[in-house]
Copies of this chain bind each other. A is one copy, B any other.
């Protein structure tokens, strides 16, 4: 279970009951999909790695003066993955949609990036903000249009989604870069992320925030499927998360595997918590108004 969360799992690690979500504001859902990773596999172990390495974090956050365990976070457990990606996404979407209907924010733990598609379908945001080394704008990869290398492309095809903002992207095919030139995509290269601000671009719009851990430089997250050097610093990622969090009604962190000493999982868990603290603080502030 995610440390500090309450436990929704009734009788197994992989099938949670959503029973009574009166006080629940956020629901952690593990989505250990590991079907289309092309190089180093292991995202199936991502959710449990993230939960484990989050155990060492303090419950209390000084910046926002909040306790994580006070913020109404439940852990639904994992939605166990199987081979049929399309079917799995549909099933996962159902779980996430229930959370949205319960007025809670889904916090998805990947698994490969493909699972963000289920998150977006459940949340129906207007803007998809993403930290990623890759554009993920392929039309298909090896004939598979549900590859993790296509996820931002697929998300742009969702009806609700008006644009994607990809921060930290530093590689892609020529076709992806051409797609990225269209009006509905903004790419912020790693070098520019520190100085980038959203200004009023997110104002009055619903946002989904997705953190592909490979957005970080490999030094900070070696446990991911396709390392891409020259990446983001964790503090840059954190600052993006803090800025976007108040607007974002869906969140995920993906592409963590078990092939390092926990650096990737530790960073992933920390960014999830930054999201929750910042989102809750903003909600609290607006409640106070």
Q: Residue of B at shortest CB range from A220?
A: B219
How many chain A residues touch B (CB < 8 A): the figure is 65
Q: Tell me if A's interface is mostly helix, strand, loop or mixed.
A: loop
Kindly state the separation between the CA atoms of A7 and B218 in the bound complex, as whole angstroms.
29
Shortest Cβ distance from A260 into B: residue: B261
| Contact assessment for A83 and B142 in the assembled complex, using a CB-CB cutoff below 8 Å | yes
Q: How many copies does the complex hold?
A: 6
Whether, in the assembled complex, A171 has its beta carbon less than 8 Å from a beta carbon of chain B, the answer is yes
Q: Which residue of B lies closest to A261 (CB)?
A: B222
Task: Digitize A113-156: 1 where CB-to-B-CB distance is under 8 Å, 0 elsewhere.
Answer: 00000000000000000000000000000111001000000000
Task: Answer yes or no: A192 CB below 8 A from chain B CBs.
Answer: no
Cβ of A223 < 8 Å from any Cβ of B?
A: yes
A195 to chain B, nearest CB (A): 15
How many angstroms from the CA of A35 to the CA of B144 in the assembled complex? 13
Specify which chain B residues have a CB less than 8 angstroms from the CB of A38 in the assembled complex: 56
Q: Does residue A254 face the partner (Cβ distance < 8 Å to B)? A: no
With A34-B41, A83-B144 as known contacts, state yes or no: A58 contacts B172, CB within 8 Å: yes
| A196 close to B (CB within 8 Å) | no
Instruction: Verify if A201 is at the interface (C-beta below 8 Å from B).
Output: no
Given A7-B10, A222-B263, A229-B266, answer yes or no on A41-B42 (Cβ-Cβ < 8 Å). Answer: yes
* A251 CB to nearest chain B CB (Å): 17
Chain A 251-288: CB-based contact to B (< 8 A → 1; otherwise 0) = 00000000111110011001000000000000000000
A102 sits at the interface (CB 8 A): no
Q: CA of A87 to CA of B23 in the docked complex: distance in angstroms?
A: 35
A178-221 interface with B by 8 A CB criterion: 191, 217-220
Interfacial residues, chain A to chain B (CB-CB below 8 A): 1, 6-7, 9-13, 34-36, 38-42, 44, 48, 52-53, 55-60, 62, 65, 67, 82-84, 142-144, 147, 171-174, 177, 191, 217-220, 222-223, 225-230, 234-235, 238, 259-263, 266-267, 270
